[in-house]
Chain A
Amino acid sequence: EAGVAQSPRYKIIEKRQSVAFWCNPISGHATLYWYQQILGQGPKLLIQFQNNGVVDDSQLPKDRFSAERLKGVDSTLKIQPAKLEDSAVYLCASSLSVNLATNEKLFFGSGTQLSVL
């Protein structure tokens, strides 16, 4: 079974530039998540989608971050403009759960490591 695919694997940009990350979840997984993992910390949820609708984006810095999940499959996360503190690994995860009763069986991608200089 194919896992969660993410690209690019690494990205280096200068502050104030824009960047986009792509995620393809496991086939059939209705729920998709974007997490931010700063070095030395645990992942922090940025946004959660159920199919192509947003369930929770309370921790997404909406002045600079945006995300979409067109057609309920692939998703992109964008940062514009980037700040130094955005340097982190951006992890995409998906789960099969349709009724959102639980999200414990999250499957994570390998992430995109972003460095903002």
Chain B
Amino acid sequence: QQQVKQSPQSLIVQKGGISIINCAYENTAFDYFPWYQQFPGKGPALLIAIRPDVSEKKEGRFTISFNKSAKQFSLHIMDSQPGDSATYFCAASENSGAGSYQLTFGKGTKLSVIP
């Protein structure tokens, strides 16, 4: 059962354009929504994260938009650069009990930014 659905699977964007990646979830117990960036041969690295009491969070060129009623959240990369070419994962976190918070990842979006 895929708890976090991510789309698109791949994305090609021109340099300077806006990259948009979407995620949807069903589990209303999720209370934290991070995005991770992964370059080939490297582990994922935290990019930006949001909590459900906020509808938008911006850090530099990266913005998360969160729609609690629709159970959807998205990552927007403004002024996309070739260096942004990587795989992006959305994730969601819930307390699985005994103080353990688990991250559930989406399947990832491979972003290619072409010059």
Residues on A lying within 8 angstroms of B by beta carbon are: 4, 40-45, 48, 55-56, 58, 91, 93, 99-111
Contact = CB atoms under 8 A, between A and B. Distances in A.
Contacts of B41: 110
A111 B101 contact: no
Interface stretch (B11-19, B56-64, B76-84, B88-96): B88-96
Interface of B: 4, 6, 32, 34, 41-46, 49, 89, 91, 93, 96, 98-103, 105-108
Interface residues of chain A: helix, strand, loop or mixed (majority): loop
Contacts of A42: 4, 6, 89, 91, 105-108
B61 to A, nearest CB: 21
B46 A56 contact: no
B107 A91 contact: no
24 contacts: A4-B43, A41-B107, A42-B4, A42-B6, A42-B91, A42-B105, A42-B107, A43-B89, A43-B105, A45-B103, A48-B102, A101-B99, A101-B101, A102-B32, A103-B101, A103-B103, A104-B32, A104-B49, A105-B46, A107-B45, A108-B42, A110-B41, A110-B43, A111-B43
A20 B58 CA distance: 41
A35 to B, nearest CB: 9
Given A42-B107, A44-B105, A110-B41, A104 B93 contact: yes
A100 B99 CA distance: 5
Given A41-B105, A103-B101, A110-B43, 14 more contacts: A4-B43, A42-B91, A42-B105, A42-B107, A44-B105, A56-B96, A56-B102, A103-B103, A104-B34, A104-B49, A104-B103, A108-B44, A108-B45, A110-B41
Tell me the interface secondary structure of chain B in the complex: strand
A110 B89 CA distance: 16
Contacts of B34: 104
Contacts of A4: 43
A44 B34 CA distance: 15
Shortest Cβ-Cβ A-B pairs, 5 listed: A42-B105, A108-B43, A100-B99, A103-B101, A56-B100
